Amino acid sequence: MKLAVLAFGGNAFTGENGYDSYEDQLQRTKNMCKEMVKLVKLNYKIIVTHGNGPQIGNLLIQQESASEIVPPMPIDVCGAMTQGQIGYMIVQTLRSYLIKNNIERPIASIVTQVVVDEKDDAFKNPTKFIGPYFNKKTADLLAFERKWKMRKDSNRGYRRIVPSPKPVDIIEKKEIAEMLKRNFIVVACGGGGIPVIRKKNGELRGVGAVIDKDLVSEKLATLTKAKTLIIVSPVEQVALNFGTSKQKNITKMTVKEAKGYLEEGHFPPGSMGPKIQAAIKFLEEGGERVLITSAKSTVKALKNKGGTEIVH
């Protein structure tokens, strides 16, 4: 069976403003799981990863707003909590669709820790967007009252930013590999994984950050020797000059072309940039193909009928 890593963004579970209720998020999960079943029918082994930017930001707001009543949890713990939340939605929903299609496959979500370097420059320069969007006035007020670091996210408003260090290693990689041997559909590295520092004596300690899910997905795909990395995006295809009159969608490009477009500034750090960086690294580490497309076009992209394919 072919092994593919399927990476969903946290925004795939919420609306544009990031305020969706649990019921709304569950409905979006159902739509994604319908596509996953199609991959299973195509005889793929699947590892599902996902982001948690909107969810962890919302949870932190809830934690901080009630801090005078109950002690708030730190960012790494909130990462674990949202990893469990989204993993629960995926596993429960996907299991139901497998039953409806008379498919017997074990499935499980594993709480995953990801090692980062405590000296990573990201801790001094936060870039990762989390939580909902705010207007400029509210963003300035939150920055003053709560000491949040805020930054404009495209043209939709301002969001909180936190450190996003690069993934170094995945603690549960052996457990994930064992589950794959037993033909499990595995949900892992949710929200980019829980960021931890490994001490000299081997002990682990959580740190306040949110790792980019695309970079973690690449790391996981490489460690498990997957041949295909599928990065699910809000758009069906990668584009040059996105959002302008000169926009040009890309059906296929090489690693060399992707590097060139990245250097030219076509893929911003807060949106398509990490996806392209992950694609390049995965292919340079031995992967065969990367597909970037929307959730509904995943299977079409696998059949070269949609999305953007990146190859050697």
CATH code, residues 2-119+165-226: 3.40.1160.10
Q: Among this protein's residues, is 17 annotated catalytic?
A: no
**Which pLDDT does position 21 carry in this prediction?**
86
- CA nearest 228: which of 294, 112, 297, 311? 311
- pLDDT for position 15: 65
Q: State the residue for tokens 């019921």.
A: 23
Distance CA 171, CA 178 (A): 13
C-alpha–C-alpha distance, residues 274 and 164, integer Å: 11
Dihedral angle, C-alpha 119, 125, 131, 137, nearest 10 °: 150
- pLDDT, tens only, 201-247: 999 999 999 999 999 999 999 999 999 999 999 889 999 999 899 99
* Known catalytic membership, residue 252: no
Active site includes 213? yes
Annotation says 219 is catalytic:
no
Lowest mean pLDDT among 8-12, 18-22, 45-49, 261-265: 18-22
Compute the distance between CA of residue 71 and CA of residue 66 in angstroms, rounded to an integer.
8
101 given a catalytic annotation: no
Q: What is the pLDDT of residue 238?
A: 96
Sign of CA dihedral 253, 254, 258, 261: negative
Q: Which of 18, 57, 87, 128 is catalytic?
A: 128
Give the per-residue pLDDT at 303. 92
Say whether pLDDT at 33 is over 70: yes
DSSP 207-247: -S----HHHHHHHHHHHTT-SEEEEE-SSSS-EESTTSTT-
Specify the amino acid at residue 191.
G
Cα separation, 87 vs 65, in Å, equals 25
Question: Which of these is catalytic: 9, 10, 131, 193?
Answer: 10
Which of 275, 281, 287, 306 is labelled catalytic? Answer: 275
Would you call 305 helix, strand, or coil by DSSP?
A: coil
Percentage of the chain lying above the pLDDT 70 cut = 98
pLDDT of residue 13: 80
Q: Which of 9, 87, 213, 219 is catalytic?
A: 213
Active-site choice (9, 11, 45, 307): 11
pLDDT of residue 306: 93
Q: How far apart are CA 291 and CA 302, in angstroms?
A: 8
- What's the pTM value of the predicted model, to 2 decimals? 0.92
- Place 19 in a pLDDT band, splitting at 50, 70 and 90: low
